[in-house]
């Protein structure tokens, strides 16, 4: 892609902060989840548009084994990515953990 490792580190740090730091726009939605305790680290970005109104969350998750998941959620008519799209992304990531596709689970489906 022609992107330096240093630039990628800055992007990863920023996307991690969105989900994992108190000042992050999706922190509230992810802070009470058990996703990190299941060996999964989430990185994300929230956003919104006006005229028309849409809310979105885009990101990825990586587990301790190196398995990866990419996710994009668009809520047509949504107002804020943090309130409308991030909770859906969190729930989808948790469903992928529960199904054994990523993270630690006791009953993997594969």
The overall pTM is greater than 0.75: yes
In a domain, residue 40? The reply is: yes
Per-residue pLDDT tens for 40-60?
999 999 999 988 999 999 999
Q: Sort strands 68-76 and 40-49 into parallel, antiparallel or unpaired.
A: unpaired
The parent domain of residue 31 ranges over: 5-98
In a domain, residue 106? The reply is: no
The total number of structural domains in the chain stands at: 1
Contact 109, 100 (CB under 8 A): yes
SS3 70: strand
In a domain, residue 103? The reply is: no
Per-residue pLDDT tens for 56-106?
999 999 999 999 999 999 999 999 999 999 999 999 999 999 999 999 855
In a domain, residue 30? The reply is: yes
In a domain, residue 76? The reply is: yes
Listed residue (95, 54, 90, 52) closest to 74, CA to CA: 54
- Write the CA distances from 76 to 3, 29, 42, integer angstroms: 32, 19, 23
Interatomic CA distance for residues 30 and 107, integer angstroms: 23
Tell me, what's the pLDDT at 4? 96
In a domain, residue 57? The reply is: yes
In a domain, residue 104? The reply is: no
In a domain, residue 109? The reply is: no
Confidence band of 1 (pLDDT split at 50, 70, 90): confident
Residue labelled with tokens 């969190």 = 90
């Amino acid at each position: 892609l022609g992107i330096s490792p240093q630039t990628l580190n800055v992007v990863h740090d920023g996307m991690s902060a969105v989900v994992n730091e108190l000042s992050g726009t999706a922190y509230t939605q992810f802070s009470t989840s058990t996703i990190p305790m299941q060996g999964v680290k989430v990185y994300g970005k929230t956003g919104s548009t006006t005229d028309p109104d849409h809310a979105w969350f885009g990101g990825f998750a990586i587990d301790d084994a190196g398995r990866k998941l990419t996710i994009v959620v668009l809520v047509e008519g949504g107002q804020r990515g943090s309130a409308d799209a991030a909770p859906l992304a969190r729930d989808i990531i948790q469903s992928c953990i529960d199904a054994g596709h990523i993270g630690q689970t006791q009953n993997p489906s594969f």
